[in-house]
């Protein structure tokens, strides 16, 4: 057999082996990931019901976007807040700012609400932030 063809065959075989092993590993990981129930199923149902504000409800009016941006900047700038707290949902629409999502502590919840009230001016702030339980 031609040495070049033999080398090509060996490389292709090695690559196929690597791909097969990776596929098996990933399928096993996916199976493990799917065996435990999601802990946020009830919240997802609640959000789909239309009873609560979600990021889709964010208004595109310039003044609403400005308020949301101002709150987000203050939250992200605060180095004492956890990454979980920095990812809360901030939804501004119809003269109301809605804060939703989990935080690690009651202190984080208070800080985010304070940033929202400082930026919202005369708008109503609805704080639906939830403190995680351990």
Question: Does pTM top 0.85 for this prediction?
Answer: no
Q: Is residue 1 part of a domain?
A: no
User: Helices in the chain by DSSP H: which ranges?
Assistant: 3-35, 41-48, 62-77, 83-86, 106-120
Distance CA 73, CA 105 (A): 20
Q: Is residue 47 part of a domain?
A: no
Q: Is residue 87 part of a domain?
A: yes
Determine the average pLDDT of the residues in 49-56.
Answer: 67
Are the C-beta atoms of residues 58 and 92 closer than 8 Å to each other? yes
Q: Is residue 41 part of a domain?
A: no
Determine the average pLDDT of the residues in 19-36.
Answer: 56
Q: What is the tens place of the pLDDT at every residue in 63-96?
A: 989 999 999 999 999 999 999 999 999 999 988 9
Q: What length does the chain have?
A: 134
Q: Is residue 9 part of a domain?
A: no
Determine the average pLDDT of the residues in 45-70.
Answer: 76
Q: What is the tens place of the pLDDT at every residue in 39-49?
A: 555 555 555 55
Q: Is residue 80 part of a domain?
A: yes
How many folded domains does the chain comprise?
1
The SS3 of residue 112 is helix
Q: Is residue 82 part of a domain?
A: yes
Torsion, Cα of 32, 36, 40, 46 (10° steps): 110
Distance CA 8, CA 73 (A): 55
- Give pLDDT, residue 38: 47
Domain with 103 in it: 53-131
26 falls in which pLDDT band (50, 70, 90)?
A: low
């Amino acid at each position: 057999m031609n040495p070049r063809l033999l080398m090509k065959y060996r490389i292709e075989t090695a690559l196929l082996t690597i791909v097969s092993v990776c596929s098996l590993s990933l399928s096993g990981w996916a199976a493990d990931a799917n065996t435990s129930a999601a802990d946020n199923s009830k919240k997802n149902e609640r959000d789909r019901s239309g009873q609560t504000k979600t990021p889709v409800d964010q208004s595109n009016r310039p003044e609403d976007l400005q308020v949301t941006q101002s709150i987000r900047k203050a939250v992200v700038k605060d180095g004492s807040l956890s990454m979980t707290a920095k990812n809360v949902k901030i939804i501004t629409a119809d003269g109301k700012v809605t804060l939703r999502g989990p935080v690690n502590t009651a202190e984080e919840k208070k800080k985010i609400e304070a940033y929202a009230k400082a930026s919202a001016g005369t708008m109503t702030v609805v704080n639906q932030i939830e403190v995680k339980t351990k």
